[in-house]
Amino acid sequence: MNSTDWGAYTALRRDLHRHPELGFKEHRTAGIVATRLKELGYTVTEGIAGTGVVGTLKKGSSARSVGLRADMDALPIQEANAIPWASQVPNVMHACGHDGHTAILLAAADAIARQAQFDGTVHLIFQPAEELGGKGGAMRMIEEGLFERFPCDAIFALHNMPGWPQGTFLFREQVMMASSDRATITIHGQGGHGANPHRCIDPTVAAASMVLALQTIVSRNTDPRDSVVISVGKLHAGSSYNIIPATAHLELSIRCFSAQVRDELQAHISRLCHSQAESFGARAEIAYERGYPTLVNSTQETRQACEVATRLFGADRVIKQMPVLTGSKDFAYMLQERPGCYLLVGNGMTGETNTATGLSHCMVHNPGYDFNDACLPDAAAFWAALIESRLAT
């Protein structure tokens, strides 16, 4: 990777940051990706899942194949950073670093095409709409025949990770990230004047009791050895202080690491919400949506990727078995279809100042977030080395 023009890829990353696009609307980004891949000699397929792009490169005669995936979409957040490459799109920004992931994979595409020695086929998968939940880009690409059209013996992806030193590579065999489900609960009561609560069925009281009771599922219905999160992210009722509303609404985020526990949580939540509402004379209506599944890395592919990182950067920069994360990623769908590994690359310690930008590193999905461009060279070099290892001549 010594001959790579990192200034050009930093400029590319910042250009993508300046022009963020939401899920399934990544038309400009996809166009840049497709053009660059064609310039590097890849066979390019566009329009998968709307705005997805796959670049394919074959060297030698082996039937072996590997897929590398990067996500391209931004988030509906108004950027707070005063930097020259801040988002020019109101209420949209790259607050999760997908601009960095795209630039990393394009830089890796450069090295793989020009320098890497391998025998087999590489598929570079640029995915839209990672942030949209269960029906986002990964699922749609799979449904449109991703792995039938572009066979992959294994599939790999990475994500930047604030809170870890820049350039640290983090791995975990088997279960790494939680499943993510959503429950919307509507409590139907009987509205009326705030001065006459005895003539009403107050859904806000039922909702308040429900918020507290839901936490007993974690503390009393779940094995303490199983990590479970139930968060009430939204509670809404009423339109005025002196009116008892007819309905109240709750929205829940539910996360765990086991398929069995996932099923049990849905049953517990449904039963508790119905009974809590009925105890106040109200009625609960529950819409339960399954989101991303648990992300599970295959052991062999994870160990090989870890060995590549250790060889390149040294054992002191590699975490072989990081703690599980309660966050979720739709790459889990791809790992259900093919063996592979999802890994993390340290973006910098939280609160530490990025000397290139003067910004303090913060967590993703934050209006003050920016990808650390210092991650580009090592992450791209890792992808190129992984391809050489997987498809050794």
The b-or-e profile of 239-278 (16+ CB within 10 A means b, else e) is: eeeeebbbbbbbebbbbbbbeebbebbbebbeebbeebbe
Q: What is the DSSP string of 167-236?
A: T-EE--SEEEE-EEEEEEEEEE-B-EETT-GGGSB-HHHHHHHHHHHHHHIIIIIS-TTS-EEEEEEEEE
CA neighbor of 4 nearest in space, from 34, 31, 33, 40: 40
From first to last of its 393 residues, what are the pLDDT tens digits of the chain?
A: 556 688 999 999 999 999 999 999 999 999 999 999 999 999 999 999 999 999 999 999 999 999 999 999 999 999 999 999 999 999 999 999 999 999 999 999 999 999 999 999 999 999 999 998 778 999 999 999 999 999 999 999 999 999 999 999 999 999 999 999 999 999 999 999 999 999 999 999 999 999 999 999 999 999 999 999 999 999 999 999 999 999 999 999 999 999 999 999 999 999 999 999 999 999 999 999 999 999 999 999 999 999 999 999 999 999 999 999 999 999 999 999 999 999 999 999 877 788 767 777 889 999 999 999 999 999 999 999 999 999 998
CA neighbor of 138 nearest in space, from 251, 281, 293: 293
Spell out the CATH class of 6-176+294-390: alpha beta
What values do phi and psi take at 39, rounded to 5? -60, -30
Q: Which helix (H) or strand (E) holds 30?
A: helix 27-39
The b-or-e profile of 105-128 (16+ CB within 10 A means b, else e) is: bbbbbbbbbeebebebbbbbbbbb
What's the rounded Cα separation, in Å, for the pair 250 and 223? 25
The angle subtended at Cα 340 by Cα 95 and Cα 132, nearest 5°, is: 35
- Domains 6-176+294-390 and 179-290 are alike in CATH topology: no
Q: What is the pTM of this model?
A: 0.93
What's at 23, amino acid-wise?
Answer: G
What's the rounded Cα separation, in Å, for the pair 212 and 230? 11
| Residues ≥6 apart with Cβ < 8 Å to 35 | none
Instruction: Residue 57: count other Cβ atoms within 10 Å of its Cβ.
Output: 20
The angle subtended at Cα 259 by Cα 254 and Cα 265, nearest 5°, is: 40
| Residues ≥6 apart with Cβ < 8 Å to 289 | 133, 134, 181, 182, 183, 184
The full set of domain ranges for the chain reads 6-176+294-390, 179-290
Q: Which residues are catalytic?
A: 73, 130
Q: What is the DSSP string of 120-155?
A: EEEEEEEES-GGG-TTSHHHHHHHTTHHHHS--SEE
**Biggest distance spanned by C-alpha atoms of the chain:** 81
Residue tagged 């993508």 (tokens): 16
> Token pair of 210, please?
């429900």
pLDDT at 88: 98
SS (H, E, C) 366-381: CCCCCCCHHHHHHHHH
pLDDT at 5: 82
- CA-to-CA separations, 359 to 86, 90, 369, in angstroms, rounded: 12, 21, 8
Spell out the CATH class of 179-290: alpha beta
pLDDT at 358: 75
Residue tagged 């590489």 (tokens): 122
What's the rounded Cα separation, in Å, for the pair 96 and 100? 9
Q: What is the DSSP string of 256-285?
A: ES-HHHHHHHHHHHHHHHHHHHHHTT-EEE
